[in-house]
Amino acid sequence: MTQFAQAEQLILTQQTLLLSTVSPTGDPECSYAPYVRDQQGVFYIFVSERASHTQNMLQTALASILFIQPEQQAENIFGRERVVFACTVLEIHRQQSDFETQLQAMKEKFGETIDLLRNLSDFHLLALTPVDGKYIAGFGQAFVMPVD
């Protein structure tokens, strides 16, 4: 298996992504969100505007996302396998066709909770498009991930 196939496998084993954002004033925020991914490699998350990470992304249009090997599976805790993407963020508004497409994908993946969340006006669908990526397979094994 190539290193990029290994990276994709790691992503596929995760139902959530770890999310790093920064406010317009430079305050860092770390969180997570369940996600779906489209054929072009764009990640979609459905998040509340009440969360500071959502406000950060709506205001700066930037985020970094992380997929990391579970600690229990790591041979060495310092060398955990991981994939990191720097992303631009775009809100998908409710009247756009992608909104229904991605929420349906989320419902198929995560179940009925999406029906409840879709009725909450403070939730926003955000598209996180990777612009830079890295795959770290372990010590001394770092690779640039293709993002297009």
E strand spans, the chain: 16-22, 28-34, 36-37, 43-48, 62-68, 82-92, 123-138, 141-144
> Max Cα separation, the chain?
47
The model's pLDDT over 66-99, given as tens digits with 9 standing for 90+, comes to 999 999 999 999 999 999 999 999 999 999 999 9
What is the 8-class DSSP label of residue 110? H
The model's pLDDT over 30-61, given as tens digits with 9 standing for 90+, comes to 999 999 999 999 999 999 999 999 999 999 99
pTM beyond 0.85: the answer is yes
The model's pLDDT over 101-119, given as tens digits with 9 standing for 90+, comes to 999 999 999 998 988 898 8
| pLDDT, position 126 | 98
Sign of CA dihedral 9, 47, 53, 130: positive
CA–CA separation, 45 and 103 (whole Å): 9
- 3-144 homologous superfamily: Electron Transport, Fmn-binding Protein; Chain A (2.30.110.10)
Q: What is the percentage of the chain residues whose pLDDT exceeds 70?
A: 99
Delimit the domains of the chain by residue range: 3-144
In which band, very low, low, confident or very high, does the pLDDT at 1 lie, cut at 50, 70 and 90?
A: low
